[in-house]
Structure 1
Amino acid sequence: MCGICCVVTLCSQHAVHDFLNEDTLCCLRRRGPDSSQQLIKTVSEPFYECLFSGHVLHLRGPVTAQPLEDASNNVLLWNGEIFNGVHVGDVENDTEVMFHHLALCSSEADILSLFSLLRGPWSFIYYQASRHALWFGRDYFGRRSLLWQFSGEADSTLCLASVAVQAESGNQWQEVPASGIFKIDLKAYATTKCLCLTLFPWKYSCTEKAAPEGVINVLDQVSKDLPDHIHLVMKESKLFLTAPVIPLNKTACGASGECPDTDGSNIPHVVSVETLQGFLAEEQKRKLVHQFTAVLSEAVKRRVLSLVRERDGNTRELPSISGRKAHVAVLFSGGIDSMVVAALADKHVPAGEPIDLLNVAFTAKQQTKQKGPTKNHASQEVQLSLVCPQEGCQDLDSGAHLSCFDVPDRITGRAGLKELKAINPSRTWNFVEINVTLEELKKMRQERIHDLIYPLDTVLDDSIGCAIWFASRGEGFVSNQGELKPYKSPAKVVLSGIGADEQLAGYSRHRVCFKKYGLEGLNKELEMELDRISSRNLGRDDRIIGDHGKEARFPFLDEDVVSFLSSLPVSEKADLTLPRGVGEKLILRLAAKELGLTASTVLPKRAVQFGSRIAKLENSREKAADTCSRLKLLSVGEL
C-alpha cells in the first residue's frame, strides 16, 4: 500500500514543487512510511513537467521504492495488491511485476487487457514516455483512493494524489471516479493548452457490445463534476476494460422455485440459533452455504497471507510463539460480518500468531449513575441476553469492565471474543479496547481526520470516518490475566467487513424497499449499492486506514466473492420476510453457523456509528445526510 502523487504542469514560471502542498506531502508519507522519493520529468518541446511522488508501505517481496523508472523513461506509481489474474511469486513485489508487464504493452488495447486481468484493489499513475501518455485510475470497486484537482484555465496544472488536504480557497479536490481508466495525451495538452481526458470504461465480458446508452450515461456522470474547461471523451475505437465480476442475477426465485412472500405470514416469532439450523437441514441450501464459505475463505486467505512476516535477523527463522506479534487485525464489533472474517482469518493466519480484534467505543463524559431503565438501556439488555445468556453476562459486564465505554459494540465484541476462543482456544486473540473521549475526538478530527474524509463531507462520513480512524490506529488496552494493559496493534493489514451489507440486504433501507417494491425493487437497490460503493465508502476508508501506515483489505469485495453472490438470485442470499437477525444476510448467517459460531449468528445489523456511540455524540438533532460543519476548515481562532 502506498501514497502516490503526480503533478503535471505547463507553467514554466513556477517550479513543479510549488504545486504540491507540504501538508499533502505529510499525509502521503504517513501512508507509506517505509520509503519516500520523488522524480521530475521535464519535456522541453512542447513544454510540460511532471512530478512523481511515491511513498511505500512494505508488505510483499523486497522493499521497492517508488516511483519506478525504466531505461525507456516510463514511470509507475502503484498503490495496489495483485491477488490473482497476473502471477506474483511468493518472493516477488507486485509493483515490479506490474511495471514489467506495462513495459511490454505496445498499444492501448494491451494496457486495457492487462488491467482487465487484475484481481485485487489498486490505483495507479503510469507515464508512458514514448507516447507522452499519462494513464491513471482505480479498480472496479474503487478500493484504493485517488483524487484529482484541476487548476483554472490560466494555470494549466493537474494534480493526482491518494490523499490531499483541504484548501481554504481555490480549486477543490474530487475523487477520481472508479468508472474506468483515464488517459491524457500530454503532448496534445502542452500544444493546445486544452486538457482532454480519454475514458476507457468497464463493461461486462458477457456483453458483446457496450450499450451506447450505458456509455453515454458514464460520460455524463463523470463530466458533470468536471470544470467546464476539462473535456472528457471516449475513443471511436470503443476500447473497454472487462469488468472483473459478473452482472447481478435479477431472477426473483431460488433453485427451489419458491419465492418468499412479502406479507410475512410465515415469520417465526422467536429468533434463535436453532432457526438457522432448520435452513441447514435442506441439502441444496447447505451445499450453497458451503460453496459460499469456500469462496469467502479463499478471499480471506489471500488477504492474510500476502504480506511479509518478519523473521529473526540472524537465523531467518520465525520467532518463538511467545514472542510473535500480530500481522493481521480485524475491525471488530462482534457482529456477524466481523465475526465471520475473524473466524476465517483464524483458518489461514499461521498457528501461534496473534490476531488483533480492534473494538472502538466513544463517550462524552464519565459514567453517571443510571436513574431508571431508559429505552436505550432496555435495548442494550435485550442485546446482552442474546449474546451472553444466563451467567455469561456476569463476567462480561462485571465491575472490572463496567464503564462509560461499555457501548453496544463493546458488549457484543466481548461476547464475540468468547465465541472465537471456543473455536480456537490456542490462538492469542488480542481484543483491543479502544476508548475515545469527546476531547480526543475533537482534537484528532481537526488535526488529521477531517483531511482524510475530504472531499466527502456529511455527518455520516464524519461518524464512520472518525470511528474507523481510531479503530484502525489500534491504540487501546488488552486484558492480561484479568488486568487491562496498554497495547498498540502492530498489524499492517486491517480486515474490514464492508461489502456484506451491500450485497446481502443488510441495511434497514433494504427492508423498506422490499416492503414497498418486492424482490424486483430490492434487486435494483442492491445493484445500486455496489455501483456507488466506491464514491460512498471505499476511497474514504482507504484514506482513513492508510493514515496509520496500514492497509485496508476487504474480503467481501473480492472479485470471486462478488461474482459468486451476484450469480445467486436474491432469495438465496436474504429473506426479508424473516425477522431482523435472520432474514438479512441469511446466507452469511448460515455460513457462520457452519463455522461454529453461536449467538453472534443472529445478531441484528448495527452500524458502527451507533454501536460505537459516536452518532449524536456532539449534536443530537443532525441527520446522517447533512453537511457536517465539524469537517470544515477552522481558523486558528476557532480551534
Structure 2
Amino acid sequence: MCAGPDAQHRHQITLESDNGITIHLDFFASELRLRGDAPVVQPHVHEGGDALCWNGEIFEGLDVRPEENDGTKLSTTMSQELRSVSAIPHRPVVRRYAFVYYHHLSRRLFFARDPLGRRSLLVHWPNREFPYLLLVSVSIGPDNSHEFTELSTKHIYTFDLDRLHGDPASSFDGCLELLPRISTLCSQARPARVNQALPSADAEPLRSQTLDSIPSHISSAVDHLIFLLDRSVALRVSNIPQQSAESSSLDRTSSKKPVPARVAVLFSGGIDSTTCAFLAHKHIPPNEPIDLLNIAFENPRKIRVQVDGNLGGINKKNAKGLRGGIPLGGQLSGRYDPNFLVPDRNTGLSELEELRRLCPGRQWNFVEIDVPYVEYQAAQPVVKSIMWPCQTNMDLSLAMALYFAACGVGKVRTSPAAQPHPYTSPARVLINGLGSDELLGGYGRHRTAYSTGGWQAVVDELQLELDRIPTRNLGRDDRVISAHGKETRHPFLSLDVVNFLVGLPVHMKMDPRLEAGIGDKMLLRLAAHRMGLVEASTRKKRAMQFGTHAARMEVGVADGGGTLLAGIIS
C-alpha cells in the first residue's frame, strides 16, 4: 500500500486456520509523509496483533489535529472501535477510507477503497495458476503470473481466514463476504442520490443571460458552494510538512534561500483549476509560492497541420486556434516556442494575470512543462505499465499529461516577456479540479441530453456521471501521480461538496438553455464571478488531453483505442 520515498517497512504475520492451514500475511508500505509533526512508518501495528495499511489522507469523518499523523489516528481508532466483530460492518471509520486491515480478534482481513475511488487499490483474486490474494496500490503493468483489476467501491470486503481449507483457490469464495457500503449508522459513507426534482415548465433562465447578477433563488446556493469549496481546499492545503528548500531550483544564485512551494495546482487556466488556485491562496502563508503546473506537448500531428494545412480531414472548428490566444507574430513570438503554445498554455497565461491582479504579493510560479515528442515516446512504456490495468488511448493521453505534471520539471518566468529559468516544483501535494463537470453538468453530453430528452434526461445523465466517478480514472490518476512521490487531492470530491451539489435541483446547477461558458456549470460560474474571477468564470470547458495536445499525438491515432486512417479523423 501507499507509494512514497520517505520510509519503507514490512510486517509479516503467520497463523494457523481452524482447518490446519498455515497462512502467511505479508504487509508492505512505502510511505509518503504529508501529515503530522514526526515521521510515522506503515504498516501500523498494534499490540493486540492488528495491522493496517492504507492509502490516502483524512480530511473528513475523523478529527485529526495538525500535529497528529492521520494514519496513526485511523489505526488507533479502528483498533478501539472494532473490538466486536458484530460492530465492524457498522463503524463509520471503516466505511469512508481506502485500507487493508487485519483484525486479529476475528482473524479476518478487511479491505476496501474509499467510496469515490480517489485512491488506487488493485486486486488479484486467487486462481489455479497463482493462488494468492494480492492487494496493491501501484502497478507494474501486465504479468502472466497474475491479473490485477480495480477493486470495486461498492462494497467493503472481509476475508475470514479460518474458513480456508485445502486449495486456497477453490476455498476462497467461501471465505469472502461483501459488506454493504452504507448502513443506518453511517449514512454519509457514500454520495447521496441526485435530486430528481425538475423545474417548472415556465422556469426562466438567468434574466440577463450573463453572470453579472445572481437570481435570488440561487444566491444562497452560490454562497454555500463557496463556503464548502473554501473549507475543502483549506483542509487539503494546510499543515503540510515543509520540505528542504534545496529541492527548489528557482533562483539558486540568490543569497537568500527561497521558501519552497508545498502546494501545486494542475493548472489549465479553466474555471475549475483557477477556483482551486484562488482558494488555496487564502489558506497558504503569503510568503510561500504556489506552483501552477501547466503542460504542453509537442504534437507532430498538430504541427503538421500548421505546416501542411487541413491534414486528414480535420474540420475547421478543431483546426481553428491551433496557435491559441497569443499571436505568434506579436511580442511573445521570440519568447515562447510555438510548438508548445497549446490551448491550455494560452488560457493558463491569461488566467495567471487575473490571479496576479486579485492576489497581489503572492508568488505564482507558472511552471511551463514542455514535453518534446521524443520524451513522450520514451516515457510511454513506463506510463503504460503504471496506469495498468487502464489501457485505452484516452487513458494514455490523460496519464501522460499527469505523469509529466507530477514530475514538475519545467521553467518559470518573472513576466510574460522575461527569459525563462529552469525550475523543478518541490510541491508534493497536487490540487486537481476534477469532479466539477460531473457534478455540475459541465460536459457537452449534458447539453445533448437536454436537447433529446429535456430536464429529466439531464438528471439521468448526472446520476450516471456520479455512479461512474469511482470507476473512470481516479485510481489510474493516483497510480500515475504517486509514481513521482506526489499526492493528488480533489477539493470538488469532498463528500460534503458532493452531497451538497447532488442534493440541489438540476436547474440550480446548470442551464443548458444558455450558451456554453454560461449555462454549463452555471452555479460554479456564478460563484467564481462573485469571488472576482471574472475572466475565469466564462471560460469554456476543454478536455485536458486536447488542451495540452496530449491526444492524437501521431497521424492516424484515434482517441477511443483503435487506429484509423488519417483521412477519416475528424
TM-score range, shorter chain: 0.7 to 0.9
Provide the alpha-carbon RMSD of the alignment.
2.9
**Equivalent position of 2:24 in the other structure:** 49
Check if 1:65 corresponds to 2:65.
Answer: no
Check if 1:307 corresponds to 2:240.
Answer: yes
1:514 positional shift? 1.6
| Aligned residues of 1:434 and 1:475 also touching (Cα < 8 A) | yes
CA separation of 1:153 and 1:544: change in aligned 2, threshold 3 A: same
**Equivalent position of 1:606 in the other structure:** 542
- Which amino acid in 2 is paired with 1:187? D
**Equivalent position of 1:92 in the other structure:** 68
Deviations 1:464-500 (A, max 9, x none): 1111111121111101361101111100100001100
Check if 1:591 corresponds to 2:527.
Answer: yes
Check if 1:195 corresponds to 2:167.
Answer: no
Q: Residue 480 of structure 1 aligns to a residue in which SS?
A: coil
- Which amino acid in 1 is paired with 2:278? A
Find 1:326's aligned residue among 257, 261, 270: 261
What is the alpha-carbon distance in structure 2 between the residues aligned to residue 171 and residue 276 of structure 1?
53
Deviations 1:88-114 (A, max 9, x none): 111111111111111111234533343
What is the alpha-carbon distance in structure 1 between the residues aligned to residue 191 and residue 307 of structure 2?
54
What is the alpha-carbon distance in structure 2 between the residues aligned to residue 43 and residue 116 of structure 1?
26
CA separation of 1:519 and 1:383: change in aligned 2, threshold 3 A: farther
**Equivalent position of 1:26 in the other structure:** none
- Which amino acid in 2 is paired with 1:253? P
1:246 positional shift? 2.8
Q: Residue 37 of structure 1 aligns to a residue in which SS?
A: strand
| Aligned residues of 1:457 and 1:627 also touching (Cα < 8 A) | no
Matches within 5 A, 1:73-152: 73-104=49-80, 105-115=82-92, 122-152=97-127
Q: Residue 63 of structure 1 aligns to a residue in which SS?
A: coil
Check if 1:561 corresponds to 2:497.
Answer: yes
1:150 positional shift? 2.1
Q: Residue 589 of structure 1 aligns to a residue in which SS?
A: helix
CA separation of 1:600 and 1:72: change in aligned 2, threshold 3 A: same
1:79 positional shift? 1.3
Q: Residue 404 of structure 1 aligns to a residue in which SS?
A: helix
Deviations 1:590-634 (A, max 9, x none): 111111112221111100110001111124442425499xxxxxx
Which has the larger displacement, 330-339 or 182-191?
182-191
Deviations 1:51-104 (A, max 9, x none): 110110001112111112111111110212111221111111111111111111
What is the alpha-carbon distance in structure 2 between the residues aligned to residue 439 and residue 392 of structure 1?
24
**Equivalent position of 1:363 in the other structure:** 298
| Aligned residues of 1:112 and 1:240 also touching (Cα < 8 A) | no
CA separation of 1:442 and 1:371: change in aligned 2, threshold 3 A: closer
Q: Residue 358 of structure 1 aligns to a residue in which SS?
A: strand
Matches within 5 A, 1:261-300: 275-278=210-213, 280=214, 282-300=215-233
| Aligned residues of 2:386 and 2:480 also touching (Cα < 8 A) | yes
What is the alpha-carbon distance in structure 1 between the residues aligned to residue 207 and residue 218 of structure 2?
19
- Which amino acid in 1 is paired with 2:384? H
Q: Residue 203 of structure 2 aligns to a residue in which SS?
A: coil
Q: Residue 275 of structure 1 aligns to a residue in which SS?
A: coil
Find 1:471's aligned residue among 384, 396, 405: 405
Check if 1:485 corresponds to 2:413.
Answer: no
| Aligned residues of 1:38 and 1:52 also touching (Cα < 8 A) | yes
Which has the larger displacement, 44-53 or 133-142?
44-53
Which TM-score applies when normalising by structure 1? 0.79
Find 1:574's aligned residue among 506, 510, 524: 510
| Aligned residues of 1:367 and 1:403 also touching (Cα < 8 A) | no
CA separation of 1:377 and 1:453: change in aligned 2, threshold 3 A: closer
Which has the larger displacement, 375-384 or 98-107?
375-384
1:352 positional shift? 1.1
CA separation of 1:242 and 1:585: change in aligned 2, threshold 3 A: closer
Give unpaired runs (5+ residues) of structure 1.
Answer: 5-30, 206-238, 269-273, 314-319, 629-639
**Equivalent position of 2:444 in the other structure:** 508
Check if 1:379 corresponds to 2:333.
Answer: no
CA separation of 1:573 and 1:258: change in aligned 2, threshold 3 A: farther
CA separation of 1:526 and 1:369: change in aligned 2, threshold 3 A: closer
What is the alpha-carbon distance in structure 2 between the residues aligned to residue 486 and residue 605 of structure 1?
30
What is the alpha-carbon distance in structure 2 between the residues aligned to residue 83 and residue 169 of structure 1?
39
Using the aligned pairs only, state the percent identity: 36
What is the alpha-carbon distance in structure 2 between the residues aligned to residue 79 and residue 589 of structure 1?
33
**Equivalent position of 2:251 in the other structure:** none
1:124 positional shift? 0.7
What is the alpha-carbon distance in structure 1 between the residues aligned to residue 154 and residue 142 of structure 2?
26
- Which amino acid in 2 is paired with 1:474? G
What is the alpha-carbon distance in structure 2 between the residues aligned to residue 260 and residue 620 of structure 1?
46
1:376 positional shift? 5.9
**Equivalent position of 1:7 in the other structure:** none
What is the alpha-carbon distance in structure 1 between the residues aligned to residue 558 and residue 349 of structure 2?
30
Deviations 1:191-235 (A, max 9, x none): 673113211122375xxxxxxxxxxxxxxxxxxxxxxxxxxxxxx
Q: Residue 518 of structure 2 aligns to a residue in which SS?
A: coil
Give unpaired runs (5+ residues) of structure 2.
Answer: 247-254, 311-315, 565-570
What is the alpha-carbon distance in structure 2 between the residues aligned to residue 381 and residue 465 of structure 1?
22
- Which amino acid in 2 is paired with 1:106? R
Q: Residue 297 of structure 2 aligns to a residue in which SS?
A: strand
Check if 1:33 corresponds to 2:8.
Answer: no
**Equivalent position of 1:246 in the other structure:** 192
| Aligned residues of 2:557 and 2:563 also touching (Cα < 8 A) | no
What is the alpha-carbon distance in structure 2 between the residues aligned to residue 172 and residue 434 of structure 1?
34
| Aligned residues of 2:21 and 2:164 also touching (Cα < 8 A) | no
**Equivalent position of 2:378 in the other structure:** 443
- Which amino acid in 2 is paired with 1:456? C
**Equivalent position of 1:425 in the other structure:** 360
What is the alpha-carbon distance in structure 2 between the residues aligned to residue 468 and residue 295 of structure 1?
26
What is the alpha-carbon distance in structure 2 between the residues aligned to residue 472 and residue 302 of structure 1?
21
Matches within 5 A, 1:184-263: 184-190=159-165, 193=168, 194-196=171-173, 197-203=176-182, 243-253=189-199, 259=203
What is the alpha-carbon distance in structure 1 between the residues aligned to residue 453 and residue 329 of structure 2?
41
Find 1:458's aligned residue among 369, 374, 392: 392
What is the alpha-carbon distance in structure 2 between the residues aligned to residue 624 and residue 82 of structure 1?
35
CA separation of 1:496 and 1:258: change in aligned 2, threshold 3 A: farther
